[in-house]
Amino acid sequence: MNLRPRRREPPDINLTPLIDVVFLLLIFFMVSTTFNDDARLRLTLPQADGEPAAAGELDLLELVVDVSGRFYVDGREVLGTDVGTLRRALEEATAGPDAADRPVLIRADAETPHQAVMTALDALGQLGIQRVAFAASRTDQAP
């Protein structure tokens, strides 16, 4: 006669339904989330009179200088504000054939320090890029 108590096997926990619910919640929150435009870089371009240029058909390299003097090359922030760092970032962005022929559009905020724009021009000059344009908004006054 066996008087020892029988060992019970540990309960088997099935995690499949829990994982299904977590994935459904993840999909629900991803679909229902709205994104704010606060992450976008906002610039107030300086105003100028003149004819608007058709820049849509050109392959422009966009160099943005924000109000505090930080640089963005094709939407990616440059981690320094000195000429060498900006030149290296521009070299990476213009790597390939005809790099010196690619036009550059400088979009500087109206309140950007003048030194930041001069730093950008200096870095472009060191790379031998001569086709540079500045973005501006039109004035509301009629000539």
- 66-91 pLDDT, tens digit each: 988 899 998 889 998 899 999 999 88
Taking CA 14 as the corner, what is the angle to CA 8 and CA 20, rounded to the nearest 5 degrees? 170
Close Cβ partners of 50 (under 8 Å, ≥ 6 residues apart): 136, 138
Q: Please state which architecture CATH assigns to domain 47-138.
A: 2-Layer Sandwich (3.30)
Q: Over 50: is that where the pLDDT of 104 sits?
A: yes
Lowest mean pLDDT among 60-64, 121-125, 134-138: 134-138
* Rounded Cα–Cα distance for residues 26 and 24 (Å): 5
Which sequence spans correspond to the domains of the chain? 47-138
Q: Where does the pLDDT of residue 58 fall: very low under 50, low under 70, confident under 90, or very high at 90 and above?
A: low
119 within 8 A of 57, measured Cβ to Cβ: no
Classify residue 38 by its DSSP letter: G
pTM of the model: 0.59
Question: What CA–CA distances, in Å, run from 33 to 23, 26, 30, 68?
Answer: 15, 11, 6, 31
